[in-house]
Amino acid sequence: MNKFELERLLNQKLNSLSIKDYVENGLQIEGQSDISRIITGVTASKDLIDRAITHKADAILVHHGYFWKNESPLLRGMKYRRIKALIEHDINLFAYHLPLDLHPTLGNNAMLGKLWNVENIRPLDEEDAMPLVVQGELSAPMSGDQFRALLETTLSRKPLHIGDNAPDQIHRIAWCSGAAQDYLERAAEYGVDAFITGEVSERTTFIAREMGIHFYAAGHHATERYGVKALGEWLADEHQLDVTFIDIDNPV
């Protein structure tokens, strides 16, 4: 597939042109014209680029790419080495941030809901046209410890759990992949029993205790593996491209 045709296809699938983001989504760095072999991963680190070179990939597709808002435009140091490797090996870099969080079937939040067997998934704020935070009911109520164990099993990561003043049973949850700890107070105000995201801040502990809600920080990387993997599988199934997901270990 031509690189621009692939970009058009991904933009259409993810509705990316209508989503305001902190970064330009789509083809960020041009490589060779025709693409047949793609490496997918969470972040366009040098490790992932090196693995793509080894696999003789034509393109890399990630959730976390480059050129973020307020990022320095200078090409030096780590950034220079990453981009130099891509250009020297003629590898295209595609990146989709919020579009890959928001997508209702392939997005990070949607895939987490499937992993946890959540029912009636819907926006936390049902008036929100592009909801970053979603909610739903567990198929069966769980204690805080039982739900922590479910997160550890499904994400292969032991989460941080704050539940000092929270309900004995979790029925309804809200979640947002990545770094969404500042949505905790809002989630509590909507009456959910637990809120799950990737990261935690110092203030989060006190918000969870004072609002009487379970909070789980399950890892930014761990909660954002599944969207890009699902997108790659869709490309392979629907468009017969050779796609391989590579998970570069990241404890954060």
44 lies in some domain: yes
Please give, one letter per residue, the 3-state secondary structure of 153-164.
HHHCCCCEEECC
Domain count of the chain? 2
DSSP tag of 246: -
End-to-end CA separation in angstroms for the chain: 35
Total Cβ atoms within 10 A of residue 135: 23
Q: For residue range 18-59, list pLDDT tens digits in order.
A: 999 999 999 999 999 999 999 999 999 999 999 999 999 999
111 and 12 co-located in one domain:
no
* Distance between CA atoms of residues 172 and 44, nearest Å: 35
Tens of pLDDT along 119-167? 999 999 988 878 999 999 999 999 999 999 999 999 999 999 999 999 9
DSSP secondary structure, 29-46, as one string: E---SB--EEEEEEE--H
Strand partners, 2: 34
Tokens of 21: 């983001």
Q: Range of 186's domain?
A: 103-223
Of the three residues 97, 124, 146, the one that is the final residue of a domain is 97
Examine the domain organization and report whether 30 and 142 are in the same domain.
no
- Which of 97, 118, 149 finishes a domain? 97
Assigned domain for 18 exists? yes
CATH number at residue 155: 3.40.1390.30
Q: Do 31 and 135 fall into the same domain?
A: no
Residues 119 and 195 in one domain: yes
Integer Cα distance of 101 and 1 in angstroms = 25
Q: Residue 127: what pLDDT?
A: 85
Report the sign of the C-alpha dihedral through residues 111, 115, 116, 119, in that order.
positive
Same domain for 75 and 145, yes or no, is no
Q: pLDDT tens-digit profile of 154-210?
A: 999 999 999 999 999 999 999 999 999 999 999 999 999 999 999 999 999 999 999
